[in-house]
Amino acid sequence: MRKLQNIMVTGGCGFIGSNFIHYLFEDTGFDGRVINVDKLTYAGNPANLVRIEQKYGGTRYFFERVDIVDFDALDAVFDKYDIDTVIHFAAESHVDRSIHGPKAFIRTNVLGTFNLLEQARKRWRPGDGRHFHHISTDEVYGSAEPGDYFYETTAYSPRSPYSASKAAADHLVRSYANTYGLSTTVTIASNNYGPYQFPEKLLPLMINNMLEEKPLPVYGDGMNVRDWLYVGDHCSAVWMVAVHGKSGQTYNAGGENEWTNIELVQRLCGIMEAKTGKTPGHYKRLITFVKDRPGHDRRYALNCDKIKKQIGWKQSVDFEEGLDKTVDWYLNNRQWVENVKTGEYREWIRKNYSI
Ligand code: NAD
Ligand code: DAU
């Protein structure tokens, strides 16, 4: 068991990173410090962490607006806080954007990960208790045939610029364990859903379009399959592996909860119709099949035996409950969606961070 105290969380203002920081402070008994390193791209929103900032800001929570591609800026942060742990979420994360403009993905996901590893290698020594945990995605394994599952031993076969950049990062992380004896672990997760997800991703985009009575764009035939994991369960997997995982190892953490996109969107329509008092079918009529995503992977499916048996992790939120909580969050936080869409939160950032 590792005692992790001065934790650099990269990408802590994004969807999963901000959920993770809440989880760490509020649900784990963690008593150390978190240094949130985030560049604040379009996807990073420090307003996600207001509660944490108010309670722990300046004592146990620190925000550093830093691009992980900037080696010198990272150097200063590692020195200033005597970082003993990196939990690395920061990434360009949206597949469609990687198709439109892959360069930012190579820059952040590959070069940024390399810089963090180099910073750790420069300072840390094998056996000194310091640890690097990297967050990855089921997309690195490629597309699964019906009935097949991805194991930690499955050969990588990334098929989009996003997944190729994440695969490169994973290989770099493992190579630092093997070559330099750096203590590292990797978790590989499936599609996350929950609060604070940027409304470019399937679920929040659909909820938002329903509320605006806009078409609900389903790519291709809608039969692509994704495995849905509640974000809180992903956070617990990351923390348990960072604390208990064996160095050099990778652990799959999925929802074991597969849905075709069309089934999921239809289900979401039903929930939204019930919650907003609309007649059955009101939102379903907005479903529109559109041109497919280029290179669209058909199915992802993780086998999670290893993390369950070796770490003792399991999912705690079932899909009905998770979807219900997620829809309620978006209905109760309309202003959050408006802010990230309109860029109003950028004003908040400028005011609060003197940027
Ligand atoms: P996100 O896009 O919501 O957030 C990414 C965060 O990283 C943002 O706060 C952004 O400002 C920050 N960032 C981007 N480039 C940066 C840079 N150069 N320097 C510093 N900060 C930078 O992403 P997310 O959905 O929260 O995903 C987090 C991690 O989890 C990613 O590594 C992603 O690959 C992985 N992952 C995501 C999912 C999912 O379903 N969302 C599933 C599996 C794995
Ligand atoms: O599998 C894990 C991955 O899940 C993460 O690594 C990525 O960071 C995360 O973005 C997510 O990738 P996907 O491409 O699966 O997520 P997205 O929400 O973009 O799309 C989910 C599915 O829905 C996918 O099959 C494409 C489809 N889709 C998506 C959008 C945005 C639509 O049919 N219509 C849409 O408008």
Each residue's pLDDT tens digit, 37-53 = 999 999 999 999 999 99
Tell me the residue ranges of DSSP E strands in the chain: 6-10, 33-38, 61-65, 85-88, 131-137, 184-189, 191-193, 216-219, 225-230, 249-253, 258-260, 287-290
The token pair that represents 146 in the structure block: 């019906």
Q: Which two tokens stand for residue 194?
A: 């929950």
- The rounded Å distance from CA 152 to ligand 1 centre is 22
Average pLDDT over residues 77-95: 97
> 27: how many CB neighbours lie within 10 A of its CB?
12
Residue located nearest, by CA, to atom 17 of ligand 1:
67
Q: Could you say which of 23, 162, 230, 283 is catalytic?
A: 162
CB atoms inside a 10 Å sphere around CB 55: 12
Residue with tokens 């999670």: 304
**All structural domains of the chain with their residue ranges:** 6-194+228-256+296-317
CA quadruple 192, 198, 201, 202: dihedral sign:
positive
- To the query of whether residue 149 is one of the catalytic residues in this protein, the response is no
Gyration radius from the chain CA atoms = 20
Count the neighbouring beta carbons within 10 Å of the beta carbon of residue 149. Answer: 18
Active-site residue (options: 139, 227, 233, 297):
139
Distinct helix (H) and strand (E) counts, the chain: 14, 12
pLDDT band at 326 (very low <50, low <70, confident <90, very high): very high
Closest ligand to C-alpha of residue 15 is 1
* Mean pLDDT of all residues in 5-27: 98
Ligand closest in space to the Cα of 226: 2
The b/e string for 250-281 (b: 16+ C-beta within 10 A; e otherwise) is bbbbbbbbbbbbbebbbebbebbbeeeeeeee
Over 60: is that where the pLDDT of 355 sits?
no
Q: Which of 213, 238, 208 is nearest to 334 (CA)?
A: 208
Which pLDDT belongs to residue 343? 74
Angle at 14 between CA 313 and CA 143, to 5 degrees: 60
Q: Sign of dihedral through CA atoms 5, 9, 13, 17?
A: negative
- Please identify, by atom number, the ligand 1 atom nearest to the C-alpha of residue 191: 40
pLDDT at residue 243 greater than cutoff 70:
yes
Q: Is 162 a catalytic residue?
A: yes
Compute the distance from residue 289 Cα to the ligand 2 centre, in Å.
Answer: 15
User: To the nearest 5 percent, what fractions of the chain are helix, strand and coil?
Assistant: 50, 15, 35
Atom 29 of ligand 1, nearest CA residue:
89
Q: How far apart are CA 215 and CA 45, in angstroms?
A: 27
Residue 141 CB partners (closer than 8 Å, separation 6+): 150, 154, 155, 156, 157, 158, 188, 300
Domain 6-194+228-256+296-317 has CATH 3.40.50.720: yes
Q: What is the DSSP letter of 112?
A: I
Average pLDDT of the chain is 96
Which pLDDT does position 348 carry in this prediction?
Answer: 67
- Alpha carbon of 209 to ligand 2 centroid (Å): 16
Other CB atoms within 10 A of residue 329 CB: 16
Q: List, for residues 282-320, the tens digit of each pLDDT value.
A: 999 999 999 999 999 999 999 999 999 999 999 999 999
Verify whether residue 64 is a known catalytic residue: no
Quote the percentage of the chain above a pLDDT of 90. Answer: 95
CA of 123 relative to ligand 2 center, distance in Å = 37
Residue 331, Cβ neighbours under 10 Å: how many? 13
Q: What average pLDDT does this structure show over 157-182?
A: 98
Mean pLDDT on 15-21: 98
The answer to whether residues 35 and 9 touch, using CB atoms and an 8 Å cutoff, is yes
Which ligand 2 atom sits nearest the alpha carbon of residue 94? 10
Please report which confidence band the pLDDT of residue 341 belongs to, taking 50, 70 and 90 as the band edges: confident
With the most atoms of ligand 2 within 8 angstroms of its CB, the residue from 19, 141, 143, 191 to mutate is: 191
Query: Residue 2's pLDDT is what?
Result: 94
At residue 86, does pLDDT exceed 80? yes
Residues 115-156 have pLDDT tens digits of 999 999 999 999 999 999 999 999 999 999 999 999 999 999
